[in-house]
Amino acid sequence: MSARENILARIRTNSGKQGATTEQELVAARAVITARTRGPLPTFARHEPIAHFIEECDRLKTTLAEVHSLQDVPAEIARYLLVENLEKKLVGWAEFSALNWTGARIEFINRAANANDLVGLTGCFCAIGETGTLLLLGALATPKVTALLPETHICVVKKSRIVPTMEDAFQLMRDEIGEPPRATFFVSGPSRTADIEQTIVIGAHGPYRVHVVLIP
Amino acid sequence: MQVQSMFFKESASKKLNDAVLQKAMKKAKSKFVDGRAASVATIDNWEDIRTHAAALRDRVIANLDAYLIEFEKNAIRRGSVVHWAETAEEANAIIVEIARKNAVKTVTKSKSMVSEEISLNDALEAAGVKVLETDLGEYILQLAKEPPSHIVAPAVHKSKEQVAALFVAHHHKPLLTDISAMTREAREELRAHFLAADMGISGANFVIAETGTTLTVTNEGNADMVTTIPRIHCVITGIEKVIPTLEDFATLIRLLPRSAIGQSIANYLTLTTGVKQANEQEGPEQMHIVLVDAGRTKLLGDDMQSMLRCIRCGACMNHCPVYQNVGGHAYGWVYPGPMGSVLTPTYVGIENAGDLPNAATFCGECQVVCPVKIPLPDLMRKLREKQFDLHLRPFSERFAIQVWAFFVKRPVLYSFASRMGARLAAWMGGREKLIHKLPGIDGWTDGRDMPAPEGKTFKELYRKKYASRKTNP
């Protein structure tokens, strides 16, 4: 017998069940899965997702700016790069290629980031109010490394895409694209560690800075 | 990992006299305990969420075979290869074989406690594969050649001076004193390895039956590197980690980082499902998932079954007065604290666990803070009973318990003996009302005085009070 059969058999025997897993038991498990029962939600999380998102970003040390339209994003990023004393060069997702970057005196390159790139620009599938979290779904046009390798991650978030809870984010994903793609990635603020003397240090292996630009 | 739990007493005494450790543990205690309390207070229905989480874990454990079969089916459908390992040796052999078949020379690894259980790094190194731990705490311990002393903060026992000295010895750079600078140096050292590794190995906090997804929770972002950049990704995890749906994950993630480190959310929640798609420019070409038993099925149908709910937050150890004083290494295996006192005897054998089930004051705090309501004190009590039944406790302890049992079964004799005992103890306490030395259990009085009783038993006092009430209604 294979290890698989032995383990499954031991599970059954020790749980006091006879024979192999029955079709009925599998159907019952699948029914639990397709029911997708939600657990209890904290009261605060159910309302005002945008206000919570802004508040939680602040707690996570994610900086945030709001502009009137997608067209205003390059100017805001130029301001941010100047304040943070960062180079005016961005590697970003294709959805931002058509913006007027030269007008903002920023060099924009549409490709996946590598370890030498200092600033990465991404969008997100949606964001979560309860925890100030960004949900990124990896695909050809939306590579995950751009949010991971550069020291600074800038993310454009549509206010209309801020949902109250993670449960809502998963439901939106099922409704719009079906199953989770290979890389489904929740980001909540810059990377951090407290592994030396429990002292929190911002900037472990991922970005040192996460900056959100809110658009309508 | 080699079990050393039988030496708990000796090891604990040594740790109590280790000044560096004592300082580290004091600092950690306040951060973990206060941090959790503040973070839990932001949720108005914490108890409802705990109850829901415990029930959903119980439902999976009661039908573990069905959920594992569903998980396997969906993982395969999405392009992953699912392996099953009955023992530590089998798990190591599977991963070594994956490495060999694919000519893997270097591995970057994000933290996995299952891999510590089975000593995976040693097995890979023996096969000529270079393994690099990338969680900062685990990396420090790999340099120090030490096992973790905490499941969430593995290097909690190290001082920054010790870390700085290790970095000088291994990075050959000037001595650092600032923790941020040390973290940056480690980041720079590890970056090149992340980019060049042939294979990434990660654990999984959960695996999701609905989608065939494996999932890691980190703050550093190292698991994201490990699961995204190398051409092969291998996940190693215990069979009990399966949960039915993404919604169940959403519930559990409200509990896990708050219980572990007092954060409302961990910085990175990394869900990986299958392999690089034709239209992608990143991601592994092969995805292997190794489901490990190594003792877990022994808990099913046993009175330890509720331990399988555990989501590995570490709150039980953070709040344990024994752990807070002796640290994790004294426990002698991978899992310290109350959860370790239950898992070590059940996974590696009660005969190897020595005093672990007794390493508790039964204050009950571990059960109070457990996000999935595991009745840890009850489980430890049951393990004590098992040890007694199996004649694993020392003769003196058995004898003492038998003497006590003799008296307690004879109420008149018991009441007489306790009256005598109370008076004797009061006399021994003298004017200070403190007993400095108790014959027979002087180990206990070596480190502290026992407050002497007043000289009368509760029964005597109660009877007196009751009698006076009767006469003066």
Return the structure tokens found at B297: 């099925």
Contact between chains at A205 and B298 (C-beta distance less than 8 A): no
> What angle (nearest 5°) sits at the alpha carbon of residue A181, between those of residues B215 and B98?
60
- Mean pLDDT, all residues of chain B: 94
List chain B residues with CB under 8 Å of A150: none
How much is the pTM? 0.94
Q: What is the pLDDT of residue B468?
A: 66
Question: DSSP labels for B163-202?
Answer: HHHHHHHHH-------HHHHHHHHHHHHHHHHHH-SEEEE
Which site among B34, B159, B187 would you substitute to test the A interface, given the most A Cβ atoms closer than 10 Å to its Cβ? Answer: B187
pLDDT of chain B along its 473 residues, tens only? Answer: 889 999 998 999 999 999 999 999 998 988 999 999 999 999 999 999 999 999 999 999 999 999 999 999 999 999 999 999 999 999 999 999 999 999 999 999 999 999 999 999 999 999 999 999 999 999 999 999 999 999 999 999 999 999 999 999 999 999 999 999 999 999 999 999 999 999 999 999 999 999 999 999 999 999 999 999 999 999 999 999 999 999 999 999 999 999 999 999 999 999 999 999 888 899 999 999 999 999 999 999 999 999 999 999 999 999 999 999 999 999 999 999 999 999 999 999 999 998 999 999 999 999 999 999 999 999 999 999 999 899 888 888 888 888 999 999 999 999 999 999 899 989 988 888 898 888 777 777 887 888 888 888 888 888 888 876 655 54
C-alpha of B453 from chain center: 38
Residue B118 and residue B120: Cα distance in Å, rounded?
5
User: Is the separation of the CB atoms in B52 and B251 below 8 Å?
Assistant: yes
List chain B residues with CB under 8 Å of A40: 45, 48-49, 52, 251
Establish if B53 touches chain A: CB-CB under 8 angstroms: yes
Contact between chains at A197 and B160 (C-beta distance less than 8 A): yes
What is the chain A residue with the closest CA to B60?
Answer: A29
Of B67, B183, B275, the CB nearest to A193: B183
pLDDT, tens digit (0-9, with 9 covering 90-100), for B303-316: 999 999 999 999 99
Residue A135 and residue A185: Cα distance in Å, rounded?
6
List chain A residues with CB under 8 Å of B153: 194-195, 198
Of A10, A32, A204, the CB nearest to B187: A204
> What angle (nearest 5°) sits at the alpha carbon of residue B444, between those of residues B443 and B450?
140
Residue A93 and residue A123: Cα distance in Å, rounded?
7
Q: Nearest-CA distance from A78 to chain B in Å?
A: 26
Establish if B24 touches chain A: CB-CB under 8 angstroms: yes
Residue A47 and residue B148: Cα distance in Å, rounded?
42
Q: Domains of chain A: which residue ranges?
A: 3-35, 44-215
Residue B47 and residue A46: Cα distance in Å, rounded?
18
Residue A9 has a CB neighbour count (10 Å cut-off) of: 16
Q: What is the pLDDT of residue B439?
A: 78
Task: Given the cut 0.90, state whether the ipTM is greater than it.
Answer: yes
Of B62, B156, B301, the CB nearest to A198: B156
**Runs of H (alpha helix) within B205-266:** 222-228, 246-261
Q: What sign for the dihedral angle of Cα A74, A77, A78, A79? A: positive
What is the chain A residue with the closest CA to B253?
Answer: A166
B171-190 residues touching A, CB cutoff 8 A = 179-180, 182-184, 187, 190
Q: What sign for the dihedral angle of Cα B154, B160, B164, B166? A: negative
Q: Nearest-CA distance from A6 to chain B in Å?
A: 8
Domain B43-297 has CATH 3.40.50.10420: yes
Mean pLDDT across A43-47: 93
Establish if A47 touches chain B: CB-CB under 8 angstroms: no
- pLDDT class for A43, splitting at 50, 70, 90? very high
Contact between chains at B136 and A179 (C-beta distance less than 8 A): no
Residue B332 per-residue DSSP state: -
Contact between chains at B53 and A187 (C-beta distance less than 8 A): no
Amino acid letter, residue B421:
G
Q: Nearest-CA distance from A209 to chain B in Å?
A: 12
Those residues with Cβ within 8 angstroms of residue B176's Cβ, 6 or more apart along the chain or in another chain: B164, B167, B182, B185
User: Is the separation of the CB atoms in B149 and B330 below 8 Å?
Assistant: no
Domain with CATH 3.40.50.10420 in chain B: 43-297
Q: What is the pLDDT of residue B473?
A: 47
Question: Which region, left, alpha or beta, applies to residue B109 given φ > 0 means left and ψ of -120 to 50 means alpha?
Answer: beta
Establish if B48 touches chain A: CB-CB under 8 angstroms: yes
DSSP helix, strand, coil percent of chain A (3-state; round to 5): 35, 25, 40
User: Is the separation of the CB atoms in B230 and B284 below 8 Å?
Assistant: yes
Establish if A125 touches chain B: CB-CB under 8 angstroms: no
Using a pLDDT cut of 70, give the percent of chain A over it.
100
Establish if A89 touches chain B: CB-CB under 8 angstroms: no
Beta bridge partners of B3: none
Place of tokens 């997100």: A124
Establish if A21 touches chain B: CB-CB under 8 angstroms: yes
Q: Nearest-CA distance from B190 to chain A in Å?
A: 8
Establish if A3 touches chain B: CB-CB under 8 angstroms: yes
Contact between chains at B65 and A25 (C-beta distance less than 8 A): yes
Residue B358 and residue B338: Cα distance in Å, rounded?
10
Task: Please give the span between the terminal C-alpha atoms of chain A, in angstroms, as a whole number.
Answer: 59
The CATH class given to the A44-215 domain equals alpha beta
